[in-house]
Amino acid sequence: MAWTTGRGKVMRFLGSVVPTLAVLLTPAAIAQQTEAVVPTHAKRQVVVSVPDRKLVVIENGAVLKAFAVAVGADVSPSPTGAFEIVTRLTDPTYYHAGVVIPAGTDNPLGPRWVGLNKKGYGIHGTNMPGSIGKAASHGCIRMRNRDIVQFFAMVSVGDTVEIHGLRDEEIAEIFGGEADQTAVAIAHATSTGAAGGQ
């Protein structure tokens, strides 16, 4: 009815609708809707081998893609264990001890950030591509910028990330080559309860 009874009523009608649309279409609301509506892939697993300086994405037991990475330096090693992806950011801003670097070629995080449920740690791009394949980061897993963009598209919040510090049989099976026998002995002792001063 408002549409046929004159311009003033139409404008009042639109005025009552438009603010509602503005509230519904805020960037946060769009992000929440996108996360909820976009179909997700089957749950994927990311496995990082610190000794191999490599990362793989696995789905249903099959390796989908392998990437070369940089891992934590000796003075700032990458954390090991099982983690979960909790955030995904495009063109992240870098914050550290009073330093703020916006998205761009100088940003140490590169074009993407995949945050883990261990505060301050994640998988990201880099402004130092020569560090890939080395133990050079502050503990995060670094990827080449073209690789992090591809990796980012392959993973979702909730996917698991395992970071392995030793080259045991599981890691040798995934990445190829021989297992480190010391790592195998440690894994065996841990699983049988022989470790820990018994």
Active-site residue numbers? 124, 140
Residue 100 structure tokens: 């703020």
Q: Based on the number of CB atoms within 10 Å of its own CB, is 128 exposed (0-12), middle (13-18) or buried (19 or more)?
A: middle
Give the span between the Cα atoms of 71 and 88, in whole angstroms: 19
CB neighbourhood size of 121 (10 A): 20
Give the span between the Cα atoms of 198 and 180, in whole angstroms: 24
Residue 157 structure tokens: 């919040």
Q: Helices marked H in the chain — which ranges?
A: 7-24, 27-37, 145-154, 169-175, 181-192
Residues 6+ apart with CB under 8 A from 10: 2, 3
Largest CA distance in the chain: 88
